[in-house]
Amino acid sequence: MNDDIQIEEGDGYWVGRFHAMASPCLILIEDASREMVHRLTLLARQEALRIEHKFSRYRDDNIVSRIQHSGGEPFEVDTETANLLDYAALCYQLSDGLFDITSGVLREVWRFQEGDELPTEEAINRLLPRIGWDKLNWQRPLLTLPEGMELDLGGIGKEYAVDRTAQLLGQHSNDSLLINYGGDLFATKPRRGDKPWVIGLDDPLHTGERHLGELHLRQGGMATSGDARRFLLRDGVRYGHILNPQTGWPVKNAPRSITVHAPSCMEAGMLATIAMLQGQGAGEFLKAQGLPYWLTE
Amino acid sequence: MKKNSLIPASLLALLLLSLGGCSFSEVKPWDRDLLAEDKMQLVADPIDNYINEHIYFSKEASQGGQGVGGGGCGCN
Amino acid sequence: MQLSKSKSIRSALAAATCSVLGTAQAGAPSSDGWDVDATFLYYAEKDRVSVMAPGFIAIRAIDEDEFVTVTGLFDTLTGASPTGAAPGLGGNCATNPPGTLCATTPSGSIINTKAGELPMNDFDDTRGSLSVDWDTPLSRLSRNKISASVSSETDYFSLGLSDTYSREFNNRHTTLAVGAGLTLDTSAPQGGAPVPMQSFSDTTWLEANTTTSASGEDEQKNTVDLLIGVTQVLNRRTLVQLNYSRAMSSGYMNDPYKYLSIVDPISGQTLDYIYEGRPDTRTTNVLYGKVVYHLPEDVLHASVRLFNDDWGINSTTFDLHYRYELPGGIYLKPHLRLYNQSAANFYRHSLVAGQDVLLTPVIPAANVYRPQVSYASADMRLAEMQSTTWGLKLGIPLGEGKQQSELSLRIEQMVQSDDSKPADAIGVQKNYNMYPDLEATVVQLNYSFIF
């Protein structure tokens, strides 16, 4: 057995585990031999790591880093990256500029893990000129990123990895598969007897209860935006980790957590994120989409 | 010959007229789903096309048009 | 900057996601395996040739966006094909009284003809052909495809090499392609290649026949072809292509097994036979246009080809495929093809004694027909003709995921015809069908799978 992955037997299904993209990753497979489960899990891990290596902003040997160091010159990207940039451009448009992959620089001042320290208004305002998809030039496949700006594909990457893994494993198996990368999910088809996969929900209020509830996923993607453990408290106001790229401040009155069910994990994730960025309007936005969702205020 | 060639020519004209309704418009990458389909490729059935070319090459005086090269054959 | 109240972005997002995941799948290093189209072809002409041919096309991604394609076809031919001789009274060398015309081909087979029927030549042959394409990206917008092919028969060998470079412009809406190819053909007819335009009665032929080959060498032909083409995405549903190509051949272009009748100017009876002779150069020009149009579900392919060459042949081809989608991924695909060509300027159904060929006394005492024309061929493929093909294909998808495959069956009917009573028929020829229709049936079974 490979140390990088673990295979366990669950209740009527197999579980393949590994770690990638700073998250626990699970592959649930209904009917297959142990050997097949092992093979599929290895394949999944390979794909997850490929995407992580290619698009992580923490590495200095990948495309994101090369773009960062292109010194404001036009940079030619490969087809896969270009597809993701097209996608990001459309999401920017569809969200009226609220979803913006250049907003990552805000992390320089917003560190949600470090207690209740808030950045100063001045520090935030200094960052704003370095944010805005409309400030860079994207003429597929040429990207011109002004110096000082950064790209962060983290808001798309994990969901993309889930969908890609599902596609890849689907080429090798006809079983019902559930891909779960840190809570971003995709089920290839219903389980035997048209049964759904059952996923326990995390507790966004952090009350210590193990499960707030269960979600049932028969087929398609599901993703959650919002994280109960990442927030700042100041003067009784809870600042979530969803930042508005236009103000540099967390979105006010945003729900604690939003889960969306959509045909793919990428759509689910994007709709959850854009909904979160609506703040108070999240519920209304989600209703207009006509897809199943779960919202925790 | 002259009379017969009018048939395809007029059919082509008809086709072009019918396409006139949908003129050129930019197709963004995310709108290329239809264009990416196998059945939408210039040669949708490569094996059928290959066999047709082989048959027509051995039975008619004309050849070529779709590409360069292609195996010679004592059949013509 | 909040979204307006009931704005649904779901469908736009769905299309965008489809684009990311769809093209990423095609572009990324694909899963190990060959995409195989396997086929079995049965082709049968009424009263003439039939062919059984298994074949395949296999494609594999060897790197990101880089593909290798291997194509193979193995034909087994059997049956009879027209010799070029005109229908006449008929004759059988074994039984006919002396003085009745009969003849043998260079390979020694006897030409027996039935009265009023087109003289045919029986043959069997096998052919194997294999080609390999290597299609690779050169830069973000340009690609190159190198292709090599071989084809081998008992009496024919062909070697081909070609290269096509393509480049995308205009935000990938326009693709420009240029290509060049070289084909080297070697013909090694059984019994040697006959001397073009030499009559059977010519004694020099008998001498040549004893040395097994008239020229003593295999005959060569080489062809260079050039292509320039443009493909344009018109809109989300429409793709058009326009190609111009030019091919220049030089060398041996004859069909060594074909000859013509030398007929009596009054009776139209065959007096002798003469081997066909064609020019040793040929230049062809082709203009080819295609439209692919996506209806809500169905897809239409329509193409037109205009062809001409310096042999005087002009042809027009119109080809239409319509893929009609049925539930469950099943589809029907009707096919219609209309083709017509004018005759080569040296095409003759027969040569007339005293006009096209003269009876010439030679030493020692014999009279042989000597041609007064440089070139002549009675090959029906060089005659004026119309051809109609119609067919139907049924495709059925099987399995899912890695086991995904498709089974399809195609049945087509082709009819080639021309004036069976040409105005220049002489004497007895007026009673005969000088151009019997060629009727062919194609049955093709395909199985596509990942290997």
- Give residue-wise pLDDT tens across range A83-96: 999 999 999 988 98
CB-CB: which of A83, A96, A98 is closest to C20? Answer: A83
The CA-CA-CA angle for residues C234, C389, C439, to 5°, reads 165
Nearest residue on chain B to A83, alpha-carbon basis: B29
Least confident range from A112-116, A161-165, C12-16, C339-343: namely A112-116
CB-CB: which of A86, A94, A246 is closest to C13? Answer: A94
Using the predicted structure, report yes or no on whether residue B65 has a pLDDT greater than 60: yes
Nearest to A200 by CA among A191, A192, A190, A210: A210
User: Which residues have CB under 8 Å from C365's CB, separation 6+?
Assistant: none
Yes or no, beta carbons of A173 and C171 under 8 Å apart = no
* pLDDT the model gives residue A102: 94
* pLDDT the model gives residue A178: 94
Q: b/e per residue, C236-266, with b = 16+ CB within 10 A?
A: bbbbbbebbbebebebbbbbbbbbbbbbbee
How far apart are alpha carbons A283 and A295 in whole angstroms? 7
Nearest residue on chain C to A91, alpha-carbon basis: C13
What is chain C's Cα-based Rg? 27
Helix boundaries (H) for C317-367: none
Task: Give the confidence band of A227 by pLDDT, cuts at 50, 70, 90.
Answer: low
Show which of residues 253-272 on chain C sit within 8 Å of chain B, judged by CB atoms. Answer: none
Nearest residue on chain B to C319, alpha-carbon basis: B8
Tell whether A168 is within 8 A of chain B (Cβ): no
Beta bridge partners, C210, equal: none
The CA-CA-CA angle for residues A198, A201, A202, to 5°, reads 150
Q: C71-120, pLDDT tens digit by residue?
A: 999 999 999 888 888 876 555 444 444 434 455 544 445 555 666 777 78
User: Which residues have CB under 8 Å from A177's CB, separation 6+?
Assistant: A27, A28, A29, A30, A40, A166, A169, A170, A187, A188
Give the residue with greater pLDDT, B29 vs C110.
Answer: B29
Tell whether B68 is within 8 A of chain C (Cβ): yes
Nearest residue on chain C to B60, alpha-carbon basis: C381
Yes or no, beta carbons of B30 and C127 under 8 Å apart = no
Tell whether B69 is within 8 A of chain C (Cβ): yes
Phi-psi region at C170: left, alpha or beta (left = phi > 0; alpha = psi -120 to 50): left
* pLDDT the model gives residue C26: 35
Is C95 strand, coil or helix?
coil
> Count of alpha carbons within 13 Å of C66, Cβ hemisphere only?
10
* pLDDT the model gives residue C32: 63
* pLDDT the model gives residue C3: 44
* pLDDT the model gives residue C59: 93
Interface test with C, best of B18, B47, B57, B73 (most C CBs within 10 A): B47
Per-residue pLDDT tens digits of chain C, which is 451 residues long: 444 444 678 888 888 888 888 744 333 334 568 999 999 999 999 989 999 999 999 999 887 778 999 999 999 999 988 888 887 655 544 444 443 445 554 444 555 566 677 778 788 889 999 999 999 989 878 999 999 999 999 899 999 999 999 999 988 899 999 999 999 999 998 778 888 998 877 755 444 444 444 455 789 999 999 999 999 999 989 999 999 999 999 999 999 889 898 988 988 888 888 999 999 999 999 999 999 999 988 999 999 999 999 999 999 999 999 999 998 889 999 999 999 999 999 999 999 998 999 887 776 666 788 899 999 999 999 999 999 999 999 999 997 655 678 999 999 999 999 988 888 999 888 888 889 999 999 999 999 998 8
How far apart are alpha carbons C378 and B7 in whole angstroms? 28
Beta bridge partners, C168, equal: C175
For residues A286 and A259, the answer to whether their CB atoms sit within 8 Å is: no
Using the predicted structure, report yes or no on whether residue A203 has a pLDDT greater than 70: no
Which residues of chain B lie closer than 8 angstroms to C342, CB-CB?
Answer: 1
For residues A276 and A250, the answer to whether their CB atoms sit within 8 Å is: no
Question: Chain B residues with CB-CB distance to A under 8 A?
Answer: 28-30
Which residues of chain B lie closer than 8 angstroms to A82, CB-CB?
Answer: 29
Tell whether C131 is within 8 A of chain B (Cβ): yes
DSSP for C143-190 reads EEEEEEEEEEETTEEEEEEEEEEEEEETTTTEEEEEEEEEEEEEE--T
User: Which residues have CB under 8 Å from C261's CB, separation 6+?
Assistant: C84, C85, C86, C88, C270, C271, C272, C273, C350, C351, C378
Tell whether B48 is within 8 A of chain C (Cβ): yes
* pLDDT the model gives residue C331: 96
Instruction: Tell me the ipTM for this assembly.
Output: 0.87
Distance (Å) from the alpha carbon of A211 to chain C's nearest alpha carbon: 30
Yes or no, beta carbons of C16 and B30 under 8 Å apart = yes
Which residues of chain C lie closer than 8 angstroms to A90, CB-CB?
Answer: 12-13, 16
Yes or no, beta carbons of C7 and A246 under 8 Å apart = no
Distance (Å) from the alpha carbon of B54 to chain C's nearest alpha carbon: 10
Q: What is the 3-state secondary structure (H, E, C) of chain A?
A: CCCCCEEEECCCCEEEEEEECCEEEEEEECCCCHHHHHHHHHHHHHHHHHHHHHHCCCCCCCHHHHHHCCCCCEEECCHHHHHHHHHHHHHHHHCCCCCCCCHHHHHHCCCCCCCCCCCCHHHHHHHHHHCCHHHCEEECCEEECCCCCCCCCHHHHHHHHHHHHHHHHHCCCCCCEEEEECCEEEECCCEHHHECEEEECCCCCCCCCCCCCEEEECCEEEEEECCCCCCEEECCEEECCCECCCCCCECCCCCCEEEEEECCHHHHHHHHHHHHHCHHHHHHHHHHHCCCEEEEC
* pLDDT the model gives residue C23: 42
Yes or no, beta carbons of C140 and A76 under 8 Å apart = yes
Tell whether B21 is within 8 A of chain C (Cβ): no
Most confident option among A1-10, A36-45, C340-349, C357-366: C340-349
Give the residue with greater pLDDT, A285 vs C1.
Answer: A285
**Residue in this structure with the two tokens 């609220």, named with its chain if needed:** A98
For residues C187 and C221, the answer to whether their CB atoms sit within 8 Å is: yes
Yes or no, beta carbons of A86 and C20 under 8 Å apart = yes
Nearest to A189 by CA among A15, A1, A30: A30
Provide the residue type at A16 as one letter: G
Which residues of chain C lie closer than 8 angstroms to A95, CB-CB?
Answer: 3, 9
Nearest residue on chain B to A82, alpha-carbon basis: B29
* pLDDT the model gives residue B44: 93
User: Which residues have CB under 8 Å from C50's CB, separation 6+?
Assistant: C42, C43, C44, C77, C78, C79
CB-CB: which of A78, A163, A262 is closest to C21? Answer: A163
Distance (Å) from the alpha carbon of A161 to chain B's nearest alpha carbon: 19
Q: What is the mean pLDDT of chain A?
A: 86
* pLDDT the model gives residue C6: 43
Q: A236-270, pLDDT tens digit by residue?
A: 666 777 889 999 988 888 888 899 999 999 999 99
How far apart are alpha carbons C358 and C360 in whole angstroms? 6
CB-CB: which of A97, A267, A281 is closest to C14? Answer: A267
Task: Give the confidence band of A280 by pLDDT, cuts at 50, 70, 90.
Answer: confident
Q: What is the mean pLDDT of chain B?
A: 76
Which residues of chain A lie closer than 8 angstroms to C171, CB-CB?
Answer: 140
Neighbours of chain B (3+ CB pairs under 8 A): A, C
Yes or no, beta carbons of B22 and C16 under 8 Å apart = no
CB-CB: which of C20, C65, C401 is closest to A87? Answer: C20
Which residues of chain A lie closer than 8 angstroms to C173, CB-CB?
Answer: none
Q: What global pTM score does this model have?
A: 0.66
For residues C305 and C320, the answer to whether their CB atoms sit within 8 Å is: no
* pLDDT the model gives residue A231: 64
